[in-house]
Amino acid sequence: MCGRYATARARQELLDEFRIELDETVAADGADLLQPDYNAAPTKDVPAVLVRPPHGADTPEEAVRTLRMVRWGLVPSWAKDLSIGNRMINARAETLAEKPAFRRAFARRRCLLPADGYYEWYKGEDGKKQPFFIHPKNGELLPMAGLYELWKSPEDAWVWTCTVITAQAADELGHIHDRMPMTVTDPDTWLDPSLTDTSAAASLLVPAAARGLEAYPVTKAVGNVRNNGPHLVAPLPADPPAPSDTPDEEGTLF
């Protein structure tokens, strides 16, 4: 599954890349809600691109492309509390139209979740786990396909939540983990809330590998959600030569 990712692009880059018409990542008090996050984890707020009528509008014709922060871990409208979202961070592409938690959102509330790349943990033969950062080779953004929902809390506050859609990993990355995020072939159609045909929406989904991904090992510090910063996505240095391959002072091998 996709359980950690990095989303650290500047606001203007996201506004330009996704042709945003309404930026809701600035709070009413002026606080900047959009901050670089190299260790986005479940229950944290992450940026999402979606199309819907702004507050106060209620017709589909008024829908605009919006950038806003949403809580990672989808909470269906019928859920009793937020905790169910902890089990809904990923939605399997194979069963989106069937699962009660996802099928309504799949029909009307699709989104894109901008990422620089995502992390997966590879378990070696010795049983130890090594995190890898998987990202587009060309350095471009990875807009992960997602769904969002609105859940009303007991205090009558609306909570926006999301999930990342995943599928079977491509062969070249499947040895690290057997699932990977999905992206879409046509973002405009994917985001269009008037498209309610789930079969048509499903036809737009493609594995993230289609964007040309590469993977490299990174520091295990990413395993602690309290750690953050660009050092988390830095490649680990190459292993030093083994002693048997190291010349001594006279130029011969030990």
Name the active-site residue from 111, 120, 149, 162. 120
Q: Residue 120 to residues 150, 176, 216, 220: CA-CA distances in angstroms?
A: 28, 7, 10, 11
Total count of residues recorded for the chain: 254
Q: Is 120 a catalytic residue?
A: yes
Q: Which residue has the tokens 């190291």?
A: 246
**73, HSE (Cβ side, Cα atoms, 13 Å):** 17
**Segments in 51-109 forming alpha helices (H):** 103-108
Name the active-site residue from 2, 111, 149, 162. 2
Type of residue found at 190: W
Q: Which residue has the tokens 């806003």?
A: 68
Give the rounded distance of the alpha carbon of 225 from its chain centre: 15
Q: Is 155 a catalytic residue?
A: no
Q: Which residues are catalytic?
A: 2, 120
